[in-house]
Amino acid sequence: MIRKYWYVLFVLCFLAACSRSEEPTPLPTLDTTRLYETAVSLVTADIAITHTHVPTQTSTPTTTSTPIPTIDRTRPIISTPTRELPCNKAAAGNPIDVTIPDDMKMMPGTNFSKTWRIENVGACTWTRLYSVTFFSGNSLGARHTHNLQQPVNPGDIVDLTVDMVAPQNIGLYQSNWMLSDPDGNLFGIGPHGDAPFWVRIEVVEVVTPTPTHTPTITLTPVVRITGSAALENGDELDLDTATLNPPDDTEADLVYQYGDSPIHQLIPINDTKWVVFGGTQPSLGDCINKTLTEEPISFDQVPDGTFICYRTSETLRGWLLINGFEESQLNVNFLTWAAP
């Protein structure tokens, strides 16, 4: 501020110096005392103006309430993860050994049928493309693959049968088997579904009995039912009741397929077994002594007059005669005995 007033004094001096008169007049002598008093007066006035109280508006603080978040004290639901079942998994039925318990003694060369009871505990249905497959040990003369005869849904139980022959040599034999899906993946029983099921037999020495004379008694077998049928493509036949295309297809014993390669196929289902006998009519004894299989009987030319020995799904014996083929129909006759 003092600089400001010195500036004013400088201007006044400049104006005084520049003013003209007709006659030059002597420069006045500056009165330093008055100049100092004037400057002090101006500075005092300026300070007074600067320090004048200017009232300011005082704002009344507004009280704002901040909401307190509410704590959710609801206990979350603890969800138990659902265990996903594997597609292919089996479990032992009760009992698992329907026939041939472990360590059963047999004579060399004895034909027998081993049946296991297995439960489907997986997530997938076992179709007829699934099979019982030889895994390890001794196959005991059995085919290594046997397709299922009917679908097995999850939770269902099925009896699986394989025909076998006891070896000729004395000893203990075990045959291990597993299930196989259509892609060839093996699975079985046990906690992890990877254990096989088996049959174990002991072949013992043949004991030759002392021959005794036994009178021969010839019995006439009792016939349960006879019939004939004209089978078209896809037809099923129940040989126990002479019913064509029974309402319950689990009661059928065979299905006829026509038009593929080979042209004609007779396929056993529901555990039916059979074998081609020949051109003469077999007796009950003939059919009992024959080794039966689950293989389809296929032909391109119809073998008229050919007899087939069979064992039905109800384990009854009988024969089937192929009579001929005409107008897309395969004509057959059959007879089923009441005795198994």
Q: What is the mean pLDDT of residues 124-141?
A: 96
- Look at phi and psi of residue 46 and say left if phi exceeds 0, alpha if psi is from -120 to 50, else beta: alpha
Which pLDDT does position 77 carry in this prediction?
A: 55
pLDDT exceeds 90 at position 245: yes
Which pLDDT does position 340 carry in this prediction?
A: 72
pLDDT exceeds 60 at position 154: yes
Question: CA 180, CA 295: separation in Å to the nearest integer?
Answer: 18
Give the closest residue to 231 by CA, choosing from 203, 250, 204, 253: 253
Which pLDDT does position 54 carry in this prediction?
A: 46
As a whole-number percent, the residues of the chain with pLDDT over 90 amount to 63
Question: CA 189, CA 73: separation in Å to the nearest integer?
Answer: 47
Q: What is the mean pLDDT of residues 25-51?
A: 51
pLDDT exceeds 90 at position 75: no
With both helix axes pointing from N to C terminus, report the angle between 32-50 and 2-18 in degrees, rounded to the nearest 10: 140
In the block, residue with structure tokens 């006439």: 220
At residue 260 the predicted structure's pLDDT band, cuts being 50, 70 and 90, is confident
pLDDT tens figures, 2-20: 555 555 566 565 555 544 4
CA distances from 184 to 132, 144, 178 (A): 11, 13, 11
Q: What is the mean pLDDT of residues 65-80?
A: 52
Task: Please state the φ and ψ torsions of residue 268, each to the nearest 5 degrees.
Answer: -75, 145
Other CB atoms closer than 10 Å to residue 320's CB: what's the count? 24
Which pLDDT does position 147 carry in this prediction?
A: 96
Domains located in the chain, CATH noted = 90-203 (2.60.40.10), 223-337 (no CATH)
pLDDT exceeds 60 at position 203: yes
CA distances from 106 to 110, 165, 211, 280 (A): 7, 10, 21, 33
Pairwise pLDDT comparison (249 vs 231), residue with the higher score: 231
Pairwise pLDDT comparison (250 vs 57), residue with the higher score: 250
pLDDT exceeds 90 at position 171: yes
Which pLDDT does position 207 carry in this prediction?
A: 72
β-pair partners for 159: 117
Q: Which pair of tokens denotes residue 317?
A: 């014996």
Q: What is the mean pLDDT of residues 212-217?
A: 61
Mean pLDDT taken over the chain:
82
Task: Please state the φ and ψ torsions of residue 156, each to the nearest 5 degrees.
Answer: -85, 160
Which pLDDT does position 28 carry in this prediction?
A: 52
Range in 53-67, 183-197, 235-249, 269-283 with the lowest mean pLDDT? 53-67
DSSP type of residue 251? G
Range in 41-50, 145-154, 282-291 with the lowest mean pLDDT? 41-50
Which pLDDT does position 209 carry in this prediction?
A: 67
Give the closest residue to 322 by CA, choosing from 291, 276, 287, 290: 276
Is beta strand 131-137 parallel, antiparallel or unpaired with respect to 111-120?
A: unpaired
Q: What is the mean pLDDT of residues 35-46?
A: 51
Answer whether 162's CB lies under 8 Å from 142's CB: yes
Which pLDDT does position 8 carry in this prediction?
A: 54
